Amino acid sequence: MRLLERSGYEGPRAFDARAFRSEDDVDVYAAFARGCIRNYKILAAKAAAFDADETIRAACVAAGSDQLAQPSPAFSREVLEAIRGEDFSELLASREGRHHEAADQLMLELLLGA
């Protein structure tokens, strides 16, 4: 959803789920479908709030989110050999975490309305 909202996608949007098997057609179309669209809009608003929050943005950058925009090299034997040839001992010795916990907690608080 966040990807759709940020990418400029103009096609149809929905929050995909399944209606209870006990529902009839009226409830599926009148209540369930309307609820799915409402849920999508709620989550889209939360995604916008997520992107606008400076504390969350800083936590995501600390967790390496800026690296996600960099293209990964296509897999090849050369790439595999380069990875195998890398020395990760300094990184492993540093024992520094990836800093995901702060971003995760902030995201959950935003979703839960805390």
Give the tens place of pLDDT for each residue, 4-25. Answer: 788 888 888 766 677 777 778 7
13 and 40 Cβ atoms separated by less than 8 Å: yes
DSSP 8-29: T--S---------TT--HHHII
44 and 5 Cβ atoms separated by less than 8 Å: yes
Q: Report residue 59's pLDDT band, with 50, 70 and 90 as the boundaries.
A: very high
Give the tens place of pLDDT for each residue, 61-100. Answer: 999 888 877 777 788 888 889 989 999 888 788 877 778 8
User: Which of helix, strand or coil describes residue 70?
Assistant: coil
Quote the pLDDT of residue 79: 87
- Sequence-separated (6 or more) residues with CB below 8 Å from residue 106: 53, 55, 56, 59
Residue 22 backbone dihedrals phi, psi, to 5 degrees: -80, -5
pTM exceeds 0.75, yes or no: no
